[in-house]
Chain A
């Protein structure tokens, strides 16, 4: 793997990291990329948020009949 990862590779790593622990060297490179890329930091936050939201999906105040769009 080359040292400077691009956003496409990083976005996949962000997703993979939700499912399995990433190997330490890969994780380090991902964080190196985060240091210089605000967009990928945002995506990382948003993917983490998605998980929190999914955990609350069936405990939401009233999600009984979501509108079919």
Chain B
């Protein structure tokens, strides 16, 4: 497939990632366009060592980080109401601090990593997170940024950041358990 048409097929998935991170469709379209332009301008830099998807995503990540950095503290994620987050977490536990409904072990989870259907479920679970929590989680796990940098850029306290990541992980764990690992509740 020629580079142009292969890139065209990546446009939508790249845009989804950019929108999720930037929460602004026109800015997201800009960074995706810049990414595609950068690849088309220097096609020799992509030598087919990785998939075009991986290559383009790598470039896109840097462009997203640039935008977030340029915005600096202007982009302000309002801190979530910690009380309401705590309440949601509380429901997972009994009064004595034990699991209200202990989650069972997952059978051979690494096999899931070989299956494209699993990643569709994972993506759907991430998409389902509340926007602010999803964004902090993606900055941490997908852009692989340090928590300190995330807190600084979003102007939130490290405890608030920690609470959001905790909530994201517990929700995603639950979502994967129900939708992939067949936990019955």
| Residues in A lying within 8 Å of B, measured CB to CB | 6-9, 11-12, 15-16, 18-20, 38-39, 42-43, 45-47, 49-69
Q: Is the CB of A49 within 8 A of B109?
A: yes
CA distance A61 to B165 in the complex (A): 27
Kindly provide the distance from the CB of B57 to the nearest chain A CB, expressed in whole angstroms: 4
Contact of A19 among B51, B118, B162 (CB under 8 A): B162
Contact of B93 among A7, A38, A46 (CB under 8 A): A7
Kindly provide the distance from the CB of A33 to the nearest chain B CB, expressed in whole angstroms: 11
- Nearest A residue to B14 via CB reads A58
B 105-128 binary contact with A (CB < 8 Å = 1; else 0)? 110011011011011101110111
Can you sample 14 A-B contacts with CB below 8 Å? A6-B98, A7-B97, A8-B89, A8-B92, A12-B166, A15-B169, A42-B104, A45-B106, A53-B112, A58-B17, A58-B54, A60-B119, A66-B119, A69-B124
Q: Is the CB of B173 within 8 A of A43?
A: yes
Q: Determine whether B72 belongs to the interface, using a CB cutoff of 8 Å to chain A.
A: no
Q: Determine whether B147 belongs to the interface, using a CB cutoff of 8 Å to chain A.
A: yes
